[in-house]
């Protein structure tokens, strides 16, 4: 199955202001976020991307804009199910102010029980995002083959929830995961299990490019050597 390249949007004006943006309209990339987005085409240059999928929110579309300009043949798809969590009445409020809310303790320590007033639960957020990725994996594989890569630009909590699902972690543990603005998290899906290849990576991504199985490839290393779903014994050396 395909390799999913998850990109968190670049740093936004809400990030800088310490505000929980949620789905508040008009939240854009700040100057640093624009610089991060401008560097994205170079970071992804080695990857033969089959498609680009974006949250409908402006900060995600702005993050992918330089990549789409650099690759005019790359088609952009909008996916509502990877939009930011609906924080309801919390949207637009200062994070420092929300820290005193009793619900914040639940969000941090027992997120599977957290539901935002006037918004959605964190369980529902994860479920829709996982469904979206599974649907896109099937579509990309059908249209471009099982070794295809595609990029998906979304939000911090969405990416953390997807990583938790890929690792078989309960949602209550997902707050242990972190992804910086414009970082790349890569998950390679196989018939039996996903492999987390990168988490919050801000460096060289060339080793993520698909490789043709060769005479030295170990068929038992599904993450690195073209096999199906067996983990590399000893951790695997990865690309040279």
- pTM of the predicted model as reported, rounded to 2 decimal places: 0.86
CB atoms within 10 A of CB 81: 18
Of the candidates 156, 160, 175, which has an alpha carbon nearest to the alpha carbon of residue 20? 156
Sign of CA pseudo-dihedral 42, 167, 127, 157: negative
Look at residue 203 in the predicted model and tell me its pLDDT.
78
Six-digit token string for 14: 């809400």
What does each C-alpha distance from 198 to 32, 120, 208 come to in angstroms? 22, 28, 9
For the segment 128-132, the average pLDDT, to the nearest whole number, is: 98
Q: What is the rounded distance in angstroms from the CA atom of residue 79 to the CA atom of residue 116?
A: 22
Quick one: how far is CA 27 from the chain centroid? 19
Six-digit token string for 202: 């801000």
CB–CB of 83/55 below 8 Å? yes
User: Residue 28: which pLDDT band, with cuts at 50, 70 and 90?
Assistant: very high
Q: What are phi and psi of 41, to 5 degrees?
A: -55, -40
Q: What is the rounded distance in angstroms from the CA atom of residue 195 to the CA atom of residue 107?
A: 27
Which residues lie below 8 Å from residue 123, measured CB to CB, with a gap of 6+? Answer: 112, 171
Which pLDDT tens digit goes with each residue over 189-240? 998 999 999 999 987 677 677 766 554 443 333 334 444 555 444 544 443 3
Look at residue 212 in the predicted model and tell me its pLDDT.
63
DSSP state of 232: P
Q: Which residues pair with 201 in a beta bridge?
A: 184
Which pLDDT tens digit goes with each residue over 79-95? 999 999 999 999 999 99
């Amino acid at each position: 199955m395909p390799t999913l390249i998850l990109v968190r949007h670049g740093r936004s004006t809400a990030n800088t202001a310490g505000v929980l943006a949620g789905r508040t309209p008009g939240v854009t990339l700040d100057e640093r976020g624009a610089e991060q987005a401008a560097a994205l085409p170079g970071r992804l240059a080695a990857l033969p991307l089959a498609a680009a999928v974006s949250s409908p929110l402006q900060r995600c579309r702005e993050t992918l804009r330089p990549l789409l300009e650099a690759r005019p043949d790359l088609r952009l798809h909008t996916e509502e199910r990877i939009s930011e969590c609906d924080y309801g009445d919390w949207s637009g409020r200062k994070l420092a102010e929300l820290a005193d809310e009793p619900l914040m303790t639940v969000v941090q320590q027992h997120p599977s029980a957290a539901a935002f007033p006037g918004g959605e639960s964190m369980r529902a957020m994860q479920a829709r995002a996982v469904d979206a990725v599974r649907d896109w994996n099937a579509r990309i594989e059908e249209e471009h083959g099982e070794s295809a890569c595609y990029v998906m630009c979304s939000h911090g909590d969405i990416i953390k929830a997807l990583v938790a699902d890929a690792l078989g972690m309960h949602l209550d543990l997902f707050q242990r995961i972190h992804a910086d603005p414009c970082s790349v998290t890569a998950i390679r899906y196989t018939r039996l299990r996903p492999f987390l290849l990168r988490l919050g990576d801000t460096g060289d991504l060339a080793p993520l490019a698909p490789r043709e199985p060769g005479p030295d490839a170990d068929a038992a290393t599904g993450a690195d050597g073209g096999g199906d779903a067996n983990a590399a014994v000893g951790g695997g050396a990865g690309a040279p």
